[in-house]
Amino acid sequence: MNAATASLPGGTWTLGNATITRFGYGAMQLAGPGVMGPPADHDGALAVLRAAVAAGITHVDTSGAYGPRVTNELIREALHPYPESLFIATKVGANRDAQGGWPTARRPEDLRKQVHENLRSLGAETLDLVNMRMGDAEGPKPGSLAEAFATLVELQREGLIRHLGVSNVTTEQVAEARGIARIVCVQNMYNLAHRHDDDLIDRLAAAGIAYVPFFPLGGFTPLQSDALWRVAARLGATPMSVALAWLLQRSPNILLIPGTSSTAHLRENIVGAGLSLSGEDVADLESIGRRTPR
């Protein structure tokens, strides 16, 4: 571990055979409006990726659907040849249409095509982690993931994927995936206001499986946002800092992937996530949301 990595909030987590920083970087915001097309500032996007790695971040999250392929191509341009320490996670299971929608694509031939497109656009021979994305833009949906997930298992056996995970899934789908093959992470929406996965996070921690929340400030009601702002003001911090710090302190298996297209904002997120929350702070924050099992 280098000095930069050691200074990141949250330390590290062992994901399969890789040790990565719990504070990572999500590349989604590097694409254009609506996660479609190129960024307005191409050089700025490259600078953010390079700054993330220079800060010690070793976990970058992307998807071939972002752009599509835009964020993968930016990652390749900015960081290839990749440092041995860099761990790039991607996901499959959705395409993009001309209107910017996210139509599902989970037939075996769709998934094979997406994996090979990720390999090409990232310039990689093997993908570090592929998450099987289920559900839709509104969230997880019930149903079996067996056929789709089995296709990724086949691709893993062929040497094209190192680790497997699942995204936008129900607890039943997590259990189904674990019955088919080893998974190293679950990537779902979770934050102070939406704590439906509280019990799942605890079970995954006990099993040594990472949980990667997305939308750390997504879906707050105005009343909940006011409460978060009050806690943040008391601590002299931003709401994003408080939300990220709470996630890191919530459980050791939580990995963060906040995204930004600004190097200044990247630095703010790193500093903010290291905010120390007292027991009183945590109690006040957790009163914002309720445990609502999915």
CA 231: distance to chain centroid?
Answer: 25
Q: What angle do CA 75, 80, 82 make, to 5 degrees?
A: 100
Distances (CA, A) of 26 to 192, 204, 281: 19, 22, 27
Question: Which token pair is 175?
Answer: 């259990």
Catalytic residues: 66
Going along the chain, which residue ranges are E strands? 12-15, 18-21, 25-26, 59-61, 87-92, 127-133, 161-167, 185-189, 210-214
**Cβ density class 29-67: b for 16+ within 10 Å, e for less:** bbbeeebbeebeeeeebbbbbebbbebbbbbbbbbbbbb
Q: How far is Cα 130 from Cα 105, in angstroms, rounded to an integer? A: 15
Q: What angle do CA 294, 212, 273 make, to 5 degrees?
A: 120
